[in-house]
Structure 1
């Protein structure tokens, strides 16, 4: 098996492999036949030169507590049915990680169709992108605030929308920056997202927005799909939710992805929400030293801990490390010898993403320690808090 970056001559075969793997529509998207900036396509070929597997490295950046961290987010992994179970995906992901590290990536996320092969390659569950349904009539309606104005957005407003998204996302963990070559490429033919864009402004400044798709019909099964609803003030959030609630007579259900603990979610009656879809996402470091130093850390957190890390796919991560956190920054440096704490790369991913504490990681067999050693000292690696994604890729 030979793994290399795909060229434009390989894209027809790559598209067909993806179409078969994911049951895609036979109608091709234009970007599948051309080179796209901001991503790297990898392919695995058998001895006869036939493409038997593919994977894509998306050159994203993710926000981690106020700092943008270079990411290699993985998409489009597919293996021909005749080649499955032969290590094709592992070979692809090994090459992808090496290439991602070479270009400066620090971390990686993906949405698996099946988790086991990615666990075997060092990714571990970081969280769930949850899509919920709410009764539109149950959304609270408030008297409009006198200092706020609501209007339909235009193409000219998209820059302000991107800025507001960044104000919400940048101090969280895991959220995409939505900036860079890849996003610029798809934004070149600028158009409004979905069917509508609703803006809430205060003295001409954008303080909230919602993008939505009207859907079909106006009967009992009609659904208003809200692709995104974000606000930077409680008043703007109430205004947005009130606008969504005004659809109750023709769209009995509103469907959206709530962002934990943000202004809009604190207005929604989420106790009455029904899960429509749950998309598990997984995380892993590409380069652990970069992953630690590039992100932001809580300014009140200080500490030092040594641990031994094992990464079977990325040997540059394997070794004994010292984590030092202070004054909103952190550093991971190599030290000699062994350590009382022995951490698997999947355990590192769980802690880094705030998805588990050290005792739980030890119970999962991803952190080993002597009986007299308290594993909770490695909670220092989890001090940044829980990560969340709002984009599916």
Structure 2
């Protein structure tokens, strides 16, 4: 039977999502989580491949705005819910969905597509490059202390119900978005993701907790932490774990006060935090970074859909005037020579017939786009070729961001 690829109809959502659960191992999600993603699904941006009445492959997109170096919020398609049923693998369904999706994204005028990959080896062939990484720490708080910034004694901490504290947390988050590349501006409904707390997912941990950091001088909320505690005991006594889900602050004093709080929760020995920025100031606050056991993994993958518009949307930390020879077999409208001219005030990027100075693929430009991966490091791996002496150093310096790009949550 021929397969039919079509935009998702709202009444098909349950069958479509059942397929997705099967593609990711077949474990049903908690009802709360399923209902959240039902409400967030943009059916007009969701594709399904059908074999009769059975959905056998899927791909979706969320409408996002992603912060880029310089603070602009750039429209981006948040690629999501990609899966192929085990019975229909190796039939070209994934490639066909990626083709249709990128064509649709281009037609919609979004210069970027972004995703988090369950299997990062899949997406390079479609032009995605790994642009952000996430830091994880497991800190032995019995042996690691904190060097607190000045002013922490002027911060008041207040435990609140996570639901009641949500609006204040969102105000802090929104203020942070333009400061650091890679963060997504909250679209309506996405604030609910942070409060997902189904009992079936707790694995012995407490319900979600929230603490607000307020300035004593004016009472303004300048930070927050959301966390869970997993009580535990061993022959020596208490051995609980604090799992930090989110911890954000607008200034060093609030930041230090919040980490001091989670380090000091009674009956716990370990603080765990995943999905932190790789340049997290926490690494400079701890007394022994080795015992924080830092490690990283890939996070956001970026695909330049409209290369010229994407490169013009950000600013550059140093003056740059370079001609790229770009390879892009999957989206050939990007292939060819482009002259990028820019600085901290803005940029232009247009096609040119001038001689190429750097040669690379669109995936390498995607990796470097948010400023966390250097063109120099990619050249060291043989992925960027310098054709004019000095062009590599010039471009690499220009692309780097002062703060490492960071995606705080998945999608």
Q: Quickly name the TM-score band, shorter chain normalised.
A: 0.7 to 0.9
Of 239, 243, 254, which aligns to 2:261?
243
Report the alpha carbon displacement of residue 326 of structure 1 after superposing the two structures with TM. 2.7
Contact 1:207 1:232 in 2 (8 A): yes
Tell me, yes or no, if the aligned pair for 2:357 and 2:388 is still in contact at 8 Å: no
Query: Do the aligned partners of residues 331 and 44 (structure 1) sit closer, same or farther apart at CA in structure 2, a change above 3 Å counting?
Result: farther
- 1:312-331 equivalences under 5 Å are 312-331=329-348
2:160 matched to 1:147?
Answer: no
Matching residue of 2:82: 77
- Could you say if the C-alpha distance between residues 315 and 49 of structure 1 is closer, same or farther in structure 2, counting changes exceeding 3 Å? farther
Which residue pairs with 2:123 in the alignment? Answer: 118
3-state secondary structure, aligned to 2:20: helix
Range 346-355 or range 59-68, more displaced = 346-355
- Are 1:63 and 2:70 matched, yes or no? no
Q: Report the CA distance between 1:325 and its aligned residue.
A: 0.3
- Partners of 2:398 and 2:406 in 1: CA distance: 17
For 1:173 and 1:322, locate their aligned partners in 2 and report how far apart those are by CA, in whole Å: 23
Structure 2: 5+ residue runs without aligned partners? 199-205
Mapped contact 1:233–1:263 kept (Cα < 8 A): no
Q: Deviations over 1:131-186 (max 9, x none)?
A: 22112333438799543211113444422222222333322111122x22352676
Q: Does 1:214 align with 2:214?
A: no
Q: CA deviation at 1:118?
A: 0.5
CA shift, 1:16, in A, is 2.2
| Paired position in structure 1 for 2:209 | 196
8 Å contact from structure 1 (residues 3, 95) kept in 2:
no
Q: Which residue of 1 aligns with 2:182?
A: 174
For 2:119 and 2:405, locate their aligned partners in 1 and report how far apart those are by CA, in whole Å.
21
Deviates most, 198-207 or 30-39:
30-39
1:304-354: CA deviation from partner (whole Å, max 9, x where unpaired) = 111222222222322321111034211211223662433211121122133
Contact 1:141 1:245 in 2 (8 A): no
Pair 226,373 (structure 1): closer, same or farther in 2 beyond 3 Å: closer
Q: RMSD in angstroms over aligned alpha carbons?
A: 3.3
Question: Residues 39 and 59 of structure 1 are in contact (CA less than 8 Å); yes or no, is this contact kept in structure 2?
Answer: no
Residue of structure 1 equivalent to 2:220: 205
5+ long unaligned stretches in structure 1: none
Give the whole-Å Cα distance in 2 for the aligned partners of 1:210 and 1:18. 32
Contact 1:354/1:387 (8 A) holds in 2:
yes
Q: What residue is the counterpart of 1:392 in the other structure?
A: 410
Counterpart of 1:15 in structure 2 is 17
- Structure 2 SS opposite 1:114: coil
The Cα of 1:77 is off from its aligned counterpart by 1.3
> How far has the Cα of 1:373 moved from its partner?
7.5
Alignment of 1:230-309 (within 5 A): 230-247=248-265, 249-257=266-274, 258-269=276-287, 270-274=289-293, 278=297, 280-298=299-317, 301-309=318-326
| Stretch deviating more after TM superposition (7-16 or 76-85) | 7-16
Superposition TM-score, scaled by structure 2 size: 0.82
Distance 1:208 1:170, change over 3 A: same
Which one is further off, 264-273 or 139-148? 139-148
Alpha-carbon distance in structure 2 between the residues aligned to 1:234 and 1:292: 32
1:125-140 aligned at under 5 Å gives the runs: 125-137=130-142, 138-140=144-146
Separation of aligned partners in 2, 1:35 and 1:146: 41
After superposing the two structures, state which structure 1 stretch, 31-40 or 265-274, moved more: 31-40
**TM-score normalised by L of structure 1:** 0.85
- Report the CA distance between 1:210 and its aligned residue: 0.8
- 1:375–1:33 CA distance, 2 compared to 1 (3 A): closer
Q: CA deviation at 1:227?
A: 0.6
* 1:99 Cα deviation from its structure 2 partner: 1.8
Q: Distance in 2 between matches of 1:72 and 1:8?
A: 20
Tell me, in whole angstroms, the C-alpha distance in 2 between the residues paired with 1:170 and 1:280: 19
* Separation in 2, partners of 1:57, 1:341: 32
Give the Cα–Cα distance (whole angstroms) in 2 for the partners of residues 8 and 116 of structure 1.
32
What displacement does 1:302 show?
1.7
Q: CA deviation at 1:275?
A: 5.2
Report the equivalent of 1:227: 245
**Pick from 101, 105, 113: which aligns with 1:108?**
113
**Stretch moving more, 212-221 or 62-71:** 212-221
